[in-house]
Structure 1
Amino acid sequence: MNIYFSGSIRGGRQDAELYKQLIEHLKQYGTVLTEHIGYENISHSKTDREIHDEDMAWLRESDIVIAEVTTPSLGVGYEIGRAVEMEKRIVCLYRNIDGSKVSAMLKGSPNFQCKSYQTIEEAKTILSGFISE
């Protein structure tokens, strides 16, 4: 199974360690095509076009899409929209922290699941359930 993991990069890297833990959990189910999202430091040596084209190729290759949407990101929203167009199975995860709110466009979409979690263990349980569906 090819897994596309999406999380904020330019929108903020405060959740990089969390992404890393989620990606490590997902690896037991298949290949995480976007493992770099969990790296503390991400290389910025590629052009914006190269990044776009590479991400879209991985998205097309993926069987499922996992998006951590606690930190708002235009790129993550774009990837989710494109994944919907490609009819991918998608789950969005988010934490209710510091009064932050997830977009109604995500939470209200009938095209994918949007799940709240509080702990990393709870997120892993959600992901395991989603994958086994």
Structure 2
Amino acid sequence: MKIYLASSITQASKALKPVIDELKEKVRAEFELLDFFGLGPGEAKAVFQHNIQQMHNADLVLAECSQPSLGVGFEIGYALSINKPVLAVALSDVSVSRMITGNPHPKYKFQRYQTVDEVITAIKNFKV
């Protein structure tokens, strides 16, 4: 399964960065993690176009929502607009926008987690 990971990059807290790194590592070990442009070089338009194409290539968009991010919110909405399934996850002890937690789209699920292994299990169990 090809997975596009949407996550806060520019505003990710020091506490969240290792969680996102572990998530990437464990997703790569179990699935095909599609590359995305984050803070590396590249013009904003090229980064946008690349990441949009990767969402089209994905079988699933995994959205890590523990840190508020306009980019992640956009990616969730865009993925659903092109009929891609979206699994949105957030650490169990953080506040998440009700626009994320209350989305009723049939190809969308929001789930909280305490460990990254719980996210991997959620991916394996995700049904559209």
Q: Give the TM-score category using the shorter length.
A: 0.7 to 0.9
Q: TM-score, normalised by structure 1?
A: 0.82
1:103 is matched with which residue?
A: 97
| Structure 2, unpaired ranges of 5+ | none
Partner of 1:16: 17
CA distance in 2, matches of 1:88, 1:61: 10
Greater CA deviation, 104-113 or 13-22? 13-22
Instruction: Give the letter for the 1:21 counterpart.
Output: E
Counterpart-to-counterpart distance in 1, 2:96 and 2:35: 23
Please report how far the alpha carbon of residue 35 of structure 1 lies from its aligned counterpart in structure 2 after TM superposition. 6.2
Asked if residue 70 in structure 1 is aligned to residue 70 in structure 2, the reply is no
TM-score (norm 2): 0.85
Q: Which runs of 5+ in 1 are unaligned?
A: none
What SS does structure 2 have at the residue aligned with 1:27? helix
The match for 1:81 is 77
Q: Aligned residue for 2:28?
A: 27
Residue identity over aligned pairs, in percent, reads 27
76-85 or 16-25, larger mean C-alpha shift = 16-25
Cα displacement string for residues 30-74 of structure 1 (whole angstroms, at most 9, x for unaligned residues): 32113676xxxx42x211111101100101111111011000100
**Number of residue pairs the alignment of both structures matches:** 125
* CA RMSD, 1 decimal: 2.0
Contact 1:18 1:120 in 2 (8 A): yes
